[in-house]
Amino acid sequence: MKSENSPHDDGYSSGMVIRGSRNIFTVLLEDETVLECRIKGKVLKGVEGYYNPLAPGDRVSVEADPLHPGTGKITALEKRRTVFTRFNQKGSSSQLLAANADLVLCVTTPASPPFRPRFLDRALLQADAAGIPPLIVVNKSDLFTGDTVSDDLDVDERLEDFRRIGYTVLNVSAKTGEGLDELRSLLEGKFSVLVGQSGVGKSSLINALLPFSNIRVGAINEKYDRGNHTTTQAAMVELPGSENEKRTWIIDTPGIRRFVPDGVKAGETILYLREFAPLAGKCTYGLSCSHRVEPGCKIMEAVAAGVIHEDRYESFLRIQDELEGKNYVD
């Protein structure tokens, strides 16, 4: 296979998927050309078990499609280093959000929309379960009032607890530019995935990091996903100014209202919550403990001792129930 040739001259090439639906994929080839591609034949090895066969970040082999000049056919998929997925309720299957991601940016806000630790807990759990380092990005930090308003105190207190249990929390503002230099340096040379509820400012952050991009900002994402069975993904965006040899990429994940963890069994929940994991198996009833009523439950003891925040315990119970019964009622 000649990897240096573009499929435009009937050769073969390799490239990276930068956008995809369920059957049409945009591939950035090695010669920097961009090609719309379909999967060759009915099956592609390595894509089994997912709602969408390929995701941004996937490395693929491409050949020219003689029947449709100017388009390509994907003939092979390179083994993925990481997969960032979520459980797609509509499709009742695993949805690939990104392949080969190096970093998951869990975006949240102190207000507008209100701080939602439940979403954060789920996204963090998914990143840890996938073995991809997560980073908590608190956007709209310009909306922290600085007054001793009880709402803000709660947010501060919760963010402090996320720091305590080992997460990096970065305060930024797409509006004022606060924290963006630090964020940029953390993204350099990596492929990062943004995840967060609609309205937290994911598109705004990409725009702020990349002044020339023209991603639409506004309340369009809710509409975007509703009733759209093909689940169009946002395109990967390359961030400029990297002095590193490795290129810097970022991708948005539009339209996630609720993050249902994927690929984690109910009984494994404890393993992917950082401050819970060291206690796994230590309860009197071992791994069969439900951590709700049993005497000698190390999790309940840790909650009583303040080692596990009550709010995280609440999240843990909800996630465990949800994974147990696949019960998605809010």
Ligand X SMILES: Nc1nc2c(ncn2[C@@H]2O[C@H](COP(=O)(O)OP(=O)(O)O)[C@@H](O)[C@H]2O)c(=O)[nH]1
Q: What is the contact surface with ligand X in residues (CB under 6 A)?
A: 139-140, 142-143, 173-175, 196, 198-204, 217-218, 221
- Tell me which residue has its CB nearest to ligand X: 201
291 binds Zn ion per the rule CB under 5 A: yes
Token code pair at residue 286: 């071992």
Return the one option of Mg ion, Zn ion, ligand X, none that residue 218 interacts with (CB less than 5 to 8 A, by type): ligand X
Residue 28 interacts with Zn ion (CB under 5 A): yes or no: no
- Indicate which of Mg ion, ligand X, Zn ion, none lies near residue 117 (CB less than 5 to 8 Å, by partner kind): none
Q: Cα–Cα distance between 173 and 138 in angstroms, integer?
A: 8
Smallest gap from residue 252 Cβ to Mg ion (A): 6
From CA 139, how far away is CA 115, in angstroms rounded?
Answer: 10
Q: What does the DSSP 8-state code read for residue 168?
A: -
Of 97, 79, 34, which is closest to residue 238 (Cα–Cα)?
Answer: 34
52, 139, 197, 203: which one binds Mg ion (CB under 5 A): 203
Site string for Mg ion, 216-235 (x = CB under 5 A): -----x--------------
201 binds, among Mg ion, ligand X, Zn ion, none (CB under 5 to 8 A by kind): ligand X
Q: Mask 266-285, x = binds Zn ion (CB under 5 A)? A: -----------------x--
Q: Which is nearer to Mg ion, 194 or 264 (CB)?
A: 194
Which contiguous run of DSSP H or E holds residue 181?
Answer: helix 180-187
Question: Can you tell me the distance from the alpha carbon of 154 to that of 147, in angstroms, rounded to the nearest whole number?
Answer: 12
For the CB of residue 309, give the shortest distance to Zn ion in the complex, in Å.
16
| Pick 46 or 113: Cβ nearer ligand X | 113
Q: What is the nearest approach in angstroms of Zn ion to the Cβ of residue 260? A: 24
Cis amide prior to 56 (ω within 30 degrees):
no
Q: Do 261 and 129 contact (CB within 8 A), yes or no?
A: yes
Q: Give the amino acid at 198.
A: S
In a 13 Å sphere around the CA of 44, the CA atoms on its Cβ side amount to 21
26 sits in which H/E element: strand 25-29
- Contact set with Mg ion (CB under 5 A): 202-203, 221
